[in-house]
Structure 1
Amino acid sequence: MRIGYFLSCEEYTPAQLVEQAVAAERAGFEALWISDHFHPWNDEQGQSPFVWSVIGAISQATSLPVTTAVTCPTVRVHPAVIAQAAATASVMLDGRFVLGVGTGEALNEHVLGDAWPSYDVRMEMLEEAVALIRRLWEGDFVTSRGRHYEVSNARIYTRPESPPPIYVSGFGPKAVDDLTRFADGFMSTNPDAEMVSRFKDATGGKPAQAGCKVAWADTREEGVDIAYRLWPNAALPGELSQVLPSVRHFEQASTLVTRDAIAESSVAGPDLDEHLAQLHEYRDAGFDEVYVANMGPHYREMIEAYGRDLLPTLRSDR
């Protein structure tokens, strides 16, 4: 299983994200995930830089592969624009780029005043968007009018030698079944072996990536405090993360999340056995790659500890 580092645009400045990418490569992480948001989940997180600018900077600072986790190419940004952005990112990364996409969240996608569709419509839009992106990557002029998207005499001139793979995020059996029709790979944040197996069985074993979080600190108590302050939204149930439209709504809903709930669900503090156990959980679920994000200010210590003590252990397990 390949171990990568997950860059959280919701929490860190562009300079910090590039710093983390460089440190992750130095420590021995093998690839990068990077989130694509217009808003953070709450004001305490406090950041949300434009992901394509950050990817450009990372491409000049490291040699690691990069996957967006995830881009929504359907409402806030037209798929033709994403096709151009992703093609440029792949060129700058010498082909080491995966476009990770998903049906998105109202939090980020409603900002231009568009209505937020139901899941079935969003998945239909996503499938059409992915097909259009792939067609544009072929390099010809494209004029097309689909159910949701129209382009006229559109051509992507700056393209990599080979088109990037497109991985798709999904949660639950219906979403996984839907994305098997058009995904080059599967993305999730849950160590759900059933969903991984469901995807791989339907696609002949296509790859699966996962992301998870830790809160590095000198003590577990401090780590839990950090996770509770910055990421209480991670414990919100069901479809709330897809349908709540604003940072304020997430902050209101997160008041229902207790510190004990965060303590129970978070890997926090410096105990490497706990960190290793989380990674093994994703490995045992069948993921081919897992990307670890740090919550809070101690990302340097987390990256250094993983590089010194944890990544060598995982490599020896292969």
Structure 2
Amino acid sequence: MTNWGYTLMTEQSGPKELVRYAVAAEEKGFDFEVSSDHYSPWLTSQGHAPYAWSVLGAVAQATERVELMTYVTCPTVRYHPAVVAQKSATLQLLADGRFTLGLGAGENLNEHVVGEGWPAVDARHDMLEEAIEIIRALHTGDLVTFDGEYFRVDSARVWDLPEQGVPIGVAVSGEKSVEAFAPLGDHLIQVEPDKDVVDQWNGVHEGPSRVIGQLPICWGPDKDAAIAQAHDQFRWFAGGWSVNADLPTPAGFSAASQFVRPEDVAESIACGPDLDELAESARPFLEAGFTDIAFVQVGDEGQDRFLAEAAGPLLEKVRAL
């Protein structure tokens, strides 16, 4: 049975709007909700970047049933892992056990703002390994002192801990990161429907594991208008994650995507009113073995209408797949 989720896209909506959408998404029957954790939007036209943890705290109180998740938090530069350990434990308490901490190696766009520079990819992965070790240690409730290659922790303890702990999902991209993080994480986060990565993870990871992905769509009553909105808001994705991880500013993403055409976006993102087409765009994730798929409805404009008119019927169609 696949779980179907809704994305709280902090890059395209303000904090109060996100809480409202979260409530509506729960009412429409989504199983879980994921939140991005950004300091900047990808593109200036998106125009938002509220603090994800404040939003999720409010969502935890405004909802009752849906599972919640960060997709994803980087616990290495902008945040010290000891702080991530504390705030994820607090959020789990507020959510009554509905929260999963999604972690990844991050993007320059969000991490350079604290003036600590942007490490090379191998160092970022080593830092993430060390950060997860610290978070796991602090979630035991023990007094932790840690002296690693990248992080120090001095006599720290998380005082308010949920009994059920905080499950950790880790975003990986290939064989090397699977080998490193499958023993450390509870669940796999994967941005592409890559069956090889899923199979590798399942071969290394001990015990049951969820495979969690994210799928952008742009529903709207007019197909051309939906394509235009997807191009305006989401053309940044075209460079792929090897590029997206290193660009530092929305201006950089605008420059890098200036030659991406609307028809290029339409080839990658299902757009328009045809719910069967939108539902079918999830099939590669199902065939790759994903257990959890979160939709991103592109753009803040029309989000209320998507939730009111399209979300329920779309869920019926994807569940029939």
In the alignment, structure 1 residue 235 sits paired with structure 2 residue 238: yes
Q: Provide the residue aligned with 2:152 in structure 1.
A: 150
> Quick one: which amino acid aligns to residue 184 of structure 1?
D
Instruction: Return the letter of the residue paired with 2:112.
Output: H
Task: Tell whether 2:221 aligns with 1:218.
Answer: yes
Task: Check if 1:43 corresponds to 2:44.
Answer: yes
Partner SS state of residue 113, structure 2: coil
Partner in structure 2 of residue 106 of structure 1? 108
**Offset, 1:68:** 0.2
> Displacement of 1:188 after TM fit?
1.7
- RMSD, matched Cα: 1.4
The structure 2 residue matched to 1:254, chosen from 257, 266, 270, is 257
Shift of 1:307: 4.0
Which residue is 2:195 aligned to?
193
1:194 maps to a residue whose letter is: D
Kindly provide the CA deviation profile for residues 210-267 of structure 1, in whole angstroms up to 9, marking residues without a partner as x.
0111112112111110011111101113511011111211111111212221121111
Q: Deviation above 6 Å: which 4+ runs of structure 1?
A: none
Question: Paired residue for 1:276, among 274, 279, 282?
Answer: 279
Q: Partners in 2 of 1:54 and 1:238 — Cα distance?
A: 26
Look up the match of 2:303.
Answer: 299
Distance 1:132 1:292, change over 3 A: same
Out of 227-236 and 193-202, give the one that drifted further: 193-202
User: What is the identity percentage for the equivalent residue pairs of Structure 1 and Structure 2?
Assistant: 37
TM-score (norm 2): 0.95
1:11-30 residue pairs with structure 2 within 5 A? 11-30=12-31
Measure, in 2, the Cα distance between the counterparts of 1:20 and 1:77. 27
Give, as a single letter, the amino acid of the residue that structure 2 aligns with 1:185.
H
Give the letter for the 1:251 counterpart.
Answer: S
Could you say what secondary structure the match of 2:123 adopts? helix
1:31 and 2:32 matched: yes
Instruction: Provide the C-alpha distance between the structure 2 equivalents of 1:8 and 1:268, rounded to a whole number of angstroms.
Output: 17
Whole-Å separation in 2 of the counterparts to 1:261 and 1:311 = 26
Question: Which residue does the alignment assign to 2:212?
Answer: 209
1:182 & 1:271 partners in 2: Cα distance?
A: 41
Code of the residue aligned with 2:105 in structure 1: it is T
For structure 2, the 5+ residue unaligned runs are: none
Structure-1 residue corresponding to 2:60: 59
Number of residue-to-residue matches in the alignment: 317
The 3-state SS of whatever aligns with 2:69 is strand
Deviation at 1:281, TM superposition (A): 2.1
Worse overlay, 89-98 or 240-249: 240-249
